[in-house]
Structures are given as C-alpha cells and as structure tokens.
Amino acid sequence: MLRPRRIRRARAGWRRRGQRGKDGSYACSSGRKGRFFLTTRAGPFPGATESQQTSGGARARRRWLLDRKKSRRSGAVGVRACETERAQEREGAHEDTRRTSRRVSELVDQGLVARGEMEALERVAERFSVAITPDLVDLVTPGDPNDPIAKQFLPSKRELRILPEERVDPIGDDPHTPVKGITHRYPDRLLLKPVHVCPAYCRFCFRREKVGPGSEVLSREELAAAIDYVRAHEEVWEVILSGGDPLILPPRKLAEITAALAAIPHVRILRVHTRVPVMDPGRIDAAMIAALHVPDLTTYVVLHTNHPRELGPKAREACTRIVDAGIPMLSQTVLLRGVNADAETLKALFRELVVLRVKPYYLHHGDLAVGTGHFRTSIAEGQSILRELRQNLSGIAQPTYVLDIPGGYGKVPIGPGYLGPEGEDGRRTVEDPWGRRHVYPPGSGKTGG
C-alpha cells in the first residue's frame, strides 16, 4: 500500500528516483541510463484524456504501461511520457494547460483533418511522428486546404508516396557520427544532439525517420562521452545544439550542457537551433534565457520558421525576450511548395524577421527526405525566387540559398549567378538585379606607365 506522501506525489505525476521537486521534469535529466520512474497505482497516467481517466481508464493505462515497458526494452528512455508530462512539469513556463495533439483521432475531433482521411493518415502516423501544439493549432484555419500552418504540421496521405531518390538519412549525418549524439562534418564546428524529440513534428523534416516518441535521449553517460569528444578536438570552435529540438529540455538540464561546453577553452561559439519560439513560445521564460546566456560563451539562437503567419504575438514576444537578453538571433527557412515558394511570402517573412532583430541566415532547398516530394521545388524555381527577392528586398533581409548535398558532402550556396565567364581580354559580363548585362574590365589592378 502506498504511503500518503507517495500517493500525493504519484497523483502530481512527477515522482522520479534521485530527484527533487520540479528539477526532475524530464526523463533524461537523471537516473539509470536516463530513465524515469513513475508511481502507477494512483492518479491518471501521463497524457490521459478525460475519457481515459473515467471509462476505460484501466485498459488505457495498461496499454500505456505496455508501451513504456517495450520502450525500455529497446533502450529508449520513455520519451513519449516525457512529452506528454512536460505540459504539467515545465517549471512554470506558462499557464496554457491544453495538450499537444499526437493522434490522428484527436486531429479529426478538432476538425483539423477530414474523418474520411483517417485510415490513410493512420498509416502515415505509423511511420512518421505526428504532433501539433496548441499554439500551432491556434494559427490553423480549419477547412482551408491551402493553410500554410496546416500543411507544415498536419499529416497528409501524400507522405505515403516514396520516391526512388529519397533517403532515410538525406544529408548524410550517419557517416559523420564518431560518437552517439555528435555529427562532425566540418573541421571547426560540430552538431551536438542531446535529444531527438520536438514539441511538434514538421511534415518535411529531414530527420523524420529519427525523431519522435520512442526516439533516444542521450543518457548521462552518453552525453558525457559526447562532451569528451568536443573537449578532445581542439579544432572545434563552434558547437551547434540540434536534435530534435534542444529547447524541449528543461532549463536546468540545458544549463548543465551549456556550462559544460563553456568550460572547454577552445569552444567559443554556441549555436542553438530551435522552433520552440513558434511551436511552444511559453517555454522561452527567464529560466530558459538564463540557461542560454552563459558566461565565456557567445550564444546564437537560430529560429527555424517558414511563413509569416508563424510569427504571431506569442512567437514575437519569445524572440524579443531572447534578443533583449543580448542573445543574437538568426533564422533558417526551408523552401516549401505550397507554403512559401513565392517571392511575396518570403519577402514578408524575411522583413518581419529583421523587424524582430532576427537576421535571415539560410534558405534551404528541400532535402530528399522520405515522403516529402510534394514539398520540393526545382533548384531553378528557387533561383528564380531569389532573383526576384534581389530586386525588391534589402540585403540585411536576404538569406543564402543553400543545398545540403545528399550523402553527407556538405552544404553549398546555390543561388543565381550574376557574373559571366572571363573573356580572352580578361573582361567579364555581369548581370544586375533586373537582368541587364554590363561589361566589367580586367581586374589586374595594373595601370599604364
């Protein structure tokens, strides 16, 4: 029989071995192999709907416990429970108690997808993670087939169409993974991926086969090994926190990671890639800012955003908090057919970002991720859009159009060219933003005498 104090803690849904209070708000924060421990004989199980807590609750609980047991056997760390529980355990980040929608049936009930598509979408959800946060749901216009938020986050049966050229690892992370959690592709910088979970899941994600509930979170031992790798490679000047979304971690856990990196003398730059200011902006609170603002380490936050509609009042406030704290922000955008593959949409997005003091950094050509062909444009289409932006958009609002070469060969700029080949006399032709050609003299710098 449970003691009264233990019952109270079990009902609060946070009891974990070796932790105190809300510091234990995430599964990977402590415990053997990063696993968490929940009392399951009192109170609703994490993520239970109201109907599951009443009728059929015992049966639903048994299903949840079975899933958790299978997850542990496979070496995972209970990420599904982490995701659903964190709405109640986010260290006071904000007061929105609505739940993230993770099942196709929930999307149908909310009127976000048609009931007639449910069977096909269930097949999509079997392979690719599905989740959309309440803040994103607020941005969706139900029933609009062209809604840019819905297209990015709601599953589509078109994801079942797999093209021959598509790859599970489209940008070649695996060949550049010397230890778990590290991708070291370039000499002076590397990726550290402490978590493979996100608040919501983009339908075009290039790591879509590796992220989601049941994916691994680095244990303390694995994270220590990853940090040791960074420490041993003195050529590494910049560490890029990625995932998954690193800002899904509790601020205390994030602070442990950033402090460990700051203690490495040759690491001078920390770059944090995230969609949290858009997906779950309430997480950007004082504790999260403090975790990012580390002495002896220059931090940049890179916001992933693809449409001006994403920059609602909450997202704008989250970005303002980051920048006001002295943390510079950049942005990354993916060129997506049906979402932003036109100059007017991108111009509006990039201008709004600059107003928010976020510098547009990269415009990514769509990667060859499995089931994402309906999002990809041709490179020629992308170059045409960039030409139009060059005519109408300030230089501080223009990102670099880039392609990650499939197979892990690196990222290269693929924007339109304006400089013609050199002639026999050393002259070149150069094209201005409006397509007019001009002659440029040889660049020897020599003068007659």
Assess whether 82 carries a catalytic annotation.
no
Assess whether 185 carries a catalytic annotation.
yes
136-150 tens-digit pLDDT: 999 999 889 899 999
Q: Residue 444 — pLDDT band, cuts 50, 70, 90?
A: low
- Catalytic-labelled residue, pool 35, 367, 376, 401: 367
State the pLDDT at residue 6: 43
Assess whether 205 carries a catalytic annotation.
yes
- Catalytic-labelled residue, pool 35, 102, 207, 376: 207
Q: Which of 230-244, 340-354, 423-437 has the lowest mean pLDDT?
A: 423-437
Residue in this structure with the two tokens 């609505």, named with its chain if needed:
98
- Catalytic-labelled residue, pool 9, 68, 80, 198: 198
- Residue bearing the bigger pLDDT, 16 or 197: 197
Assess whether 404 carries a catalytic annotation.
yes
Mean pLDDT calculated for residue range 184-192: 97
Q: Residue 212 — pLDDT band, cuts 50, 70, 90?
A: confident
- Catalytic-labelled residue, pool 173, 245, 280, 404: 404
Q: What is the mean pLDDT of the chain?
A: 82
- Catalytic-labelled residue, pool 189, 231, 268, 428: 189
State the pLDDT at residue 9: 40
Mean pLDDT calculated for residue range 381-398: 97
- pTM given for the model: 0.78
227-267 tens-digit pLDDT: 999 999 999 999 999 989 999 999 999 999 999 999 999 99
CA–CA gap between residue 273 and residue 307 (Å, rounded): 17
Assess whether 296 carries a catalytic annotation.
no
- Residue bearing the bigger pLDDT, 41 or 68: 68
State the pLDDT at residue 171: 83
State the pLDDT at residue 59: 47
Please give the C-alpha separations between residue 15 and each of 65, 68, 88, 102, in angstroms, as whole numbers.
Answer: 16, 16, 13, 24
Mean pLDDT calculated for residue range 20-31: 37
Is residue 207 pLDDT above 60, yes or no? yes
- Catalytic-labelled residue, pool 186, 285, 337, 351: 186
- Residue bearing the bigger pLDDT, 416 or 83: 416
| Share of residues in the chain with pLDDT > 90 (%) | 67
- Residue bearing the bigger pLDDT, 105 or 12: 105
Assess whether 62 carries a catalytic annotation.
no
Assess whether 198 carries a catalytic annotation.
yes
Could you give all domains of the chain from N- to C-terminal order, each with its CATH number? 174-397 (3.20.20.70)
Is residue 56 pLDDT above 60, yes or no? no
Is residue 36 pLDDT above 50, yes or no? no
Residue in this structure with the two tokens 């936050």, named with its chain if needed:
301
